[in-house]
Every structure is written in C-alpha cells, then in structure tokens.
C-alpha cells in the first residue's frame, strides 16, 4: 500500500534560518504529491502540490520538487518567519484511483523563534 | 466564499454512546472526505462521499459510518464509542478528484 514518511520533529529554528523537511513516499503508480500545513487550532491548508516527476510546487516562499528517482518531495524555505510555526504534512494521492483518498505522513512540527 | 463548516466543534461523550458529526462543504464542492487525527496514529482516512455515494473507504470498523445528502452536506456517525475514538475529526471538501482538499477546523471528540 501507499505510505509517506517524513522527518520527525519538532524542528526548532531561528527567524530567517533555512528550513528543510524531508519527505519520502512509497506508492503504486504515479501519485500526486502535496504539502499541507496546520496552524495551531486550525484545520489543514494546502500549501503546494506537484502532479508529475520534476514538477516544482511553490507557494509563500516554500518549494518542493517531485523527485521520482528518489521518491522524495522535500519541503524547503529559504528564510522562515515566526508565522511559519506550524505542523507540516506531506501527502500523496494515487492518481490511478478515483476520488480524493490522501495518505499523509506523520507531520513535522516547526517552531520558529524570534 | 464560506469555508468548510463542522459542527459541533467540541463534544464530550462516554463509552458506549454514539455521536454524529456534521460537515457543510464549500458551495459547489461535491466531494466530502473525513479524516481522524490523533497524536499516535496521525491523520487517517475514514471515507469519502461524492454525489451521495461512498467513493472510498478507509480501514475503520463498521462502527464508523457516514452519509451525504443531496445538498452535499455530510454526517459521520460513530456508534458504541470507545476511549480510543477520542480524536479530532476533520472534514474536507473538494471540487474534483485532484487531491486538493479544503479542510474544516474539525470536531474534537473526547470519550470518557
């Protein structure tokens, strides 16, 4: 079956530091890949996505590139802010299957200190 | 455009009781999915409904059920509650099937 593995947190950074959250996946077929973010007390929000190999998703200064050869989709941001403190989830969707069944990683908590 | 609305936001039940959670999707979204979020198991897919039909189902016991109405609003029900059912239940709607989900803030269920 499908699975997503992401680095465990918490990740603690200072403001303006570089952030990387590793994500690798196992899937049958060719999944679409996503990063979702959950701010305290809120539901998840889609941060970015990529639907095929070598696609780069980007949003709000965050980027992730779909690497089929390494089955990875690492999230990066060059200069984090306190407002980026949240839990980040990597997820995949099997494009060969009907519907919207997402498989999520365990989440990585990021804490950015001023 | 209003977001996904879940009610109630918080509830406390005792073992053996049942609970019904409600979700109103974004207007025009016909797909509604439910996820259970716990510290130990993370986010786990429960089921997805599209046009009143269950399209996908996760690996949860039959005590967990759901339905969708003609206006796309959805409910999920958990019968014979167990302590382990304590969780944040998240509803998400989608306009299609590309995996782009719009989540509500969740219903936090505590089972005593």
Model confidence pLDDT, tens digit, residues B47-63: 999 999 998 899 999 99
Q: A94 in helix, strand or coil?
A: strand
CA distances from B48 to A20, A37, A87, A100, B14 (A): 32, 21, 24, 7, 27
3-class secondary-structure state, position A82: helix
Tell whether B97 is within 8 A of chain A (Cβ): yes
Q: Which residues of chain B have a CB within 8 Å of the CB of A45?
A: 103
What pLDDT was estimated at residue B107? Answer: 96
- Average pLDDT of span B16-34: 96
Contact A100 B105 (CB under 8 A): no
Q: What is the structure's pLDDT at A53?
A: 92
pLDDT for the residue B27: 94
Residue A99 has pLDDT above 80, yes or no: no
In this complex, do B43 and A100 lie within 8 Å of one another by their Cβ atoms? no
Greater pLDDT, A77 or A43? A77
Contacts of B65-71 with CB under 8 Å at 24 or more apart are: B66/B34, B68/B32
Residues in B closer than 8 angstroms to A51, CB to CB, are 98
Cα angle B24, B5, A97 (rounded to 5 degrees) comes to 60
Q: Could you tell me the pLDDT band of residue B2, with boundaries at 50, 70 and 90?
A: confident
pLDDT digits (tens, 9 = 90+) for A36-76: 999 988 889 999 999 999 999 999 999 999 999 999 999 99
Pick from A43, A49, A91: CB nearest B106: A43
Q: In chain A, which ranges are continuous DSSP H helix?
A: none
Tell me which residue of A68, A76, A69 sits closest to A92, measured CA to CA. A68
- Selected for mutation to probe chain A from B6, B34, B36, B43 (highest A CB count within 10 Å) is B43
Query: Quick one: pLDDT at residue B97?
Result: 65
Closest to B105 measured CA to CA, from B21, B1, B45: B21
Report the share of chain A in percent with pLDDT over 90.
81
Give burial (CB, 10 Å; 0-12/13-18/19+) of A53: exposed
Q: Do B104 and A101 touch (CB under 8 A)?
A: no
How do residues B59-89 score in pLDDT, each as one tens digit? 999 999 999 999 999 999 999 999 999 999 9
């Amino acid at each position: 079956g499908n699975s997503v593995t992401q680095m465990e947190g918490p990740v603690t950074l200072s403001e303006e530091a570089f952030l990387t959250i590793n994500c690798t996946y196992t899937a049958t077929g060719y999944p679409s890949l996503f990063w979702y973010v959950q701010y305290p007390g809120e539901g998840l929000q889609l941060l970015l996505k990529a639907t095929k190999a070598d696609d780069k998703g980007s949003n709000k200064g965050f980027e992730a590139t779909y690497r089929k050869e390494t089955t990875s989709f690492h999230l990066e941001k060059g200069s984090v802010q306190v407002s980026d403190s949240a839990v980040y989830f990597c997820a995949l969707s099997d494009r060969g299957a009907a519907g919207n069944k997402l498989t999520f990683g365990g989440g990585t908590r990021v804490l950015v200190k001023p | 455009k209003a977001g996904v609305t879940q009610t109630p936001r918080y509830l406390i039940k005792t073992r053996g009781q049942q609970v019904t959670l409600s979700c109103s999707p974004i207007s025009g979204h016909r797909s509604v999915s439910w996820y259970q979020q716990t510290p130990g198991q993370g986010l786990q897919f429960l089921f997805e409904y599209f046009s009143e039909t269950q399209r996908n189902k996760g690996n949860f016991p039959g005590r967990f059920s759901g339905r969708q109405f003609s206006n796309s609003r959805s409910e999920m029900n958990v019968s014979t509650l167990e302590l382990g059912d304590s969780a944040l239940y998240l509803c998400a709607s989608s306009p299609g099937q590309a995996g782009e989900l719009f989540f509500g803030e969740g219903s936090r269920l505590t089972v005593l």
